[in-house]
Chains A and B, each alone.
Chain A
Amino acid sequence: MPRVTVTVRDSGGQTATATANYTITPPVLGGYYLSGGADPTTDMAGGNFRSLTQYRSFADGYVFPGYNQSWLVTLGRSGVRVNMVLELKHYGASDAGPQTFTVDGVRYTVPAPAMTIQQRPGTVWPKAYGYSQVLAGQCDGLLARALSQYRTMGFGVNIQLASELDTDHEFGTTEAGKAYTWAESDVRAVQAVIYIVNWFRAKALPQGTTFSVGLGGFDRACYQRTHPEALMTRLDFLQWNVYATSPTDTALARFRRTKDWAVADLGPVALSRPVLVAEWGVRVAEFPDQPAWIATVPPAIAQLNAERGPIIARTNYFNSGWGTLSPKATGLAALRAAYARPPYA
């Protein structure tokens, strides 16, 4: 811990000494995600990119490192900190029926996913493994398969359970024919996440393994419901996503919104956890000059980290969807410049 020492000396040589200790928080890790889970190695080369988000479904037979994604192993072993978003949402598997497979000599059968999520009116509701299915142990095979693959990677990752529970639950959920409100879904999800984290933590995990739960962070009541202290004692990070999609959105306002709710609403364990921003982005439709907005992010993060409350530790730019960098080259240059400045460097 650095220490500053003050010495006051009078003309006779008599002195008084006072000291003050302080800490410097480690640099914030600047990170990235490339659309479609594509290989980001070229985009990250030569920049201070130290963090990466990836998405996988537990339904997928290739959770770690992912089908044809050996580059993830290379990046992870070179020190890039990987945030693996593991979702109960069903994708990546050839069909949504039951699965039977063998993991380390043990035969597992996992039933078809029984839950629907993201029930936005007028859309096809995606299927997901249900929270009751998880609590009944019916998805243990999925967890075992993911863990077995994870152990071959050679480095620890953060396992973020769900991408955005608020997006998943916003219009309610159903499981096995029963409908649940948003609030009910949040409570059920918390129980399922506790089950999954307990399941993993009871096993031997690669060194450096951490856990978090995924939220978009756009709804205050949902954020509070999904962050009880009983869950946060099992998690290592707070997490939310940050997007600028309105012409008046400033980086400071967008990054601080969920933080302010957390500081006001959450308990001391939750607030002791650093923040992993799995996605951030600025939409080109409202901000044709994306580089200008990106340039305001480092001072915004520095200011937030100087204030009371949890420290923002990692921010991963989402070069996809709302965050798509257009033109890509100038956007990437702006990201490189931002990550080369304090508090990133």
Chain B
Amino acid sequence: MAAPTATASLNATSYAPGAQMLLTVTYSDPDTKALTVTVVVTDAQGNSSAPVKVSAVIDPLTITVTDDSGRTWTRVSDSGTVAVYRAVA
């Protein structure tokens, strides 16, 4: 099983008090795969149900953001490979 990778970058290195801070996290894992399971039930007479689709992720990733100054980072967006968080300076 492969290990995940992550990078973190801020939109600035210095902030005035009260300013919005944006953190961009880029992450991935070679094992992570999104898949869709489609189920069709067919009886002995050959009648089939409508297909039902279920999504699943193999080896899903969780992101944790901590700040040693106690700031709270709130997720703004997450594409599955890039997540953006926001805090107040």
Contact = CB atoms under 8 A, between A and B. Distances in A.
A181 B62 CA distance: 69
Contacts of A12: 1, 59
A314 to B, nearest CB: 14
A21 B5 CA distance: 19
A341 B19 CA distance: 12
Contact-size category for A: 20 to 34
A302 B19 contact: yes
A106 interface: no
Contacts of B19: 302, 305-306, 342-343
B4 interface: yes
A4 B67 CA distance: 4
A25 B16 contact: yes
A5 B68 contact: yes
Nearest to A7: B64
Interface string B1-43: 1111111111011111111010101010101100000000000
B82 to A, nearest CB: 12
Contacts of A3: 67-69
B30 to A, nearest CB: 10
A2 B6 contact: no
A22 B15 contact: yes
Nearest to B69: A2
B17 A24 contact: yes
Contact of B61 (A4, A9, A27, A341): A9
Contacts of A20: 8-10, 23
A24 B61 contact: no
Contact of A8 (B1, B4, B13, B16): B4
Interface string A234-251: 000000000000000000
B6 A18 contact: yes
A14 B36 CA distance: 25
B3 A5 contact: no
Nearest to B13: A22
The 6 closest A-B pairs by CB, nearest first: A342-B18, A2-B69, A18-B8, A305-B16, A16-B6, A8-B6
Interface of A: 2-12, 14-25, 27-28, 301-302, 305-306, 311, 341-343, 345
25 contacts: A4-B65, A5-B67, A6-B27, A7-B65, A9-B62, A10-B3, A10-B60, A11-B59, A14-B1, A15-B4, A16-B5, A17-B6, A18-B7, A20-B10, A22-B13, A23-B13, A24-B15, A24-B69, A25-B14, A25-B16, A28-B16, A302-B19, A311-B16, A342-B18, A343-B16
